[in-house]
Chain A
Amino acid sequence: MALTYDVIIIGAGPAGLAAAIEAKKTGAQRVLIIERNNEPGGILTQCIHNGFGSVIFKKDLPGPSYAHNFITQAREVEIEMLFDTMVIDITPNRSIYATSKNGFMEFQAGAIVLAMGCRERTRSQIRIPGTRPAGVFTAGMVQRMVNIENLMPGKNFVILGSGDIGMIMARRLTLEGANVIKVVELMPYLTGLRRNYVQCLQDFNIPLELSTTIKTINGNNRVESVETLKVDESLKQIPGTEQIIPCDSVLLSVGLIPENELSKKAGVILDPLTGGPEVDEKMATNIPGIFAAGNAVTIYDLVDYVSEAGFTAGRNAALFASGNTISPADTIKILPGENVRTVVPQAINKQLSGNQVLIELRVTKDFPSPVKIELTDGDNVVLAFREKYARPAEMITLKINPELFMEKTAGISGALKVRAL
Chain B
Amino acid sequence: MTKKFICIRCPKGCEITTTLDGSGVITEITGNNCKLGIDYVKAELSDPRRTLTTTVEVIEGELPLCPVWTESPIPKDKIKELADALRAIKITAPVKINQIVLENALGTGVNVVAEREINKHSTLAD
B-binding residues in A (CB < 8 A): 38-39, 45, 48-51, 54, 60, 62-65, 67-68, 83-84, 101, 147-150, 172, 175-177, 193-195, 197-199, 203, 301-302, 388, 394
Contact = CB atoms under 8 A, between A and B. Distances in A.
A48 B67 contact: yes
Nearest to B98: A65
A64 B13 contact: no
A64 B96 CA distance: 12
Interface residues of B, number: 34
23 contacts: A39-B124, A50-B51, A50-B69, A51-B11, A64-B67, A65-B97, A68-B116, A147-B55, A148-B64, A150-B64, A175-B79, A175-B80, A177-B87, A194-B13, A194-B15, A195-B6, A195-B8, A195-B11, A195-B13, A199-B50, A203-B50, A203-B76, A388-B33
Contacts of B9: 60, 195
A101 B126 CA distance: 9
Contacts of A39: 62, 124
Contacts of B57: 150
A195 B14 CA distance: 9
A394 B126 CA distance: 39
Nearest to B13: A194
B63 A148 contact: yes
B115 A65 contact: yes
A162 to B, nearest CB: 13
Contacts of B50: 199, 203
B69 A83 contact: no
Contact of A48 (B55, B62, B97, B126): B55
Nearest to B64: A150
A68 B87 CA distance: 24
Q: Binding site of A, secondary structure by majority: helix, strand, loop or mixed?
A: mixed
A113 to B, nearest CB: 24
A62 B57 CA distance: 18
Interface string B31-64: 0010000000000000000111111010000111
A176 B83 contact: yes
Nearest to A82: B125
Contacts of B15: 194
B121 to A, nearest CB: 13
B65 interface: yes
Contacts of B63: 148
Contacts of A194: 6, 13, 15
B11 A68 contact: no
Given A38-B124, A48-B67, A147-B55, A54 B116 contact: no
Contacts of B52: 175
Contacts of B126: 101
A84 B55 contact: no
B55 to A, nearest CB: 6
B10 interface: yes
A60 B36 CA distance: 12
Given A48-B115, A203-B50, 13 more contacts: A38-B125, A45-B116, A48-B69, A50-B51, A50-B53, A62-B67, A62-B69, A147-B55, A172-B54, A175-B83, A176-B83, A302-B11, A394-B11
B125 A148 contact: no
